[in-house]
Amino acid sequence: MARVAVIGGGYGGVTVAKGLDPLADVVLIEQKDQFVHHAAALRAAVDTVWEHAIFMPYTNLLHRGEVVRGTVSRVDGTTVHVFGHDPIEADYVVFATGSTYPFPAKYSSYRSSVAKARLEQLHENLGRARSVMIVGGGTVGIELTGELANAFPGLDITIVEASDQILGTPGYTDALRNEISEQ
């Protein structure tokens, strides 16, 4: 049976690891102590119900394979070196290291307790705020603005955008941009 090392336990890595779990000896290597459902991160930024719901343990993810928590230091061919662990020999290595965005869209901490504490602090700060400034009028900035406007109807929200329009990437209609700008 082939051994597959999957580096990264985000959406891509989890999908590959779960898909291969019945077919191969899978080792999923991830720095974070829990999976983070980042698609709901902006809702969690404004809604305390979501604060803990977006974190899920890796413990029951794989039936046959294993999850190794650690940081990959290097890959030599099909040997994966993880700080504090013996080298992991594999037949195949999958790189699924994901992407990064600033908080609150993504959480950089490897410990969920730190990310949860940051969310709690954000909730406290937003509860006291009279106004907020969102830097960036792209998709994430507009989504966060919508979440804030819905959760805090009296909050004064200002969007600062470097280009001459919000949602400046191709694919958005002027009608949509105008409707959002008016809101």
Domain positions in the chain = 3-95, 129-182
Q: CATH class for domain 3-95?
A: alpha beta
Look up the pTM and report it: 0.87
CA distance 62 to 30: 13
Q: Which amino acid is at 152?
A: F
How many of the other CB atoms lie within 10 Å of CB of 112? Answer: 19
> Are both 3-95 and 129-182 of the same fold?
yes
What CATH number does the domain located at 129-182 have? 3.50.50.60
How does pLDDT run along the chain (183 residues), one tens digit per residue?
A: 999 999 999 999 999 999 999 999 999 999 999 999 999 999 999 999 998 899 999 999 999 999 999 999 999 999 999 999 999 999 999 999 999 888 999 988 899 999 999 999 999 999 999 999 999 999 999 999 999 999 999 999 999 999 888 998 888 998 998 888 888
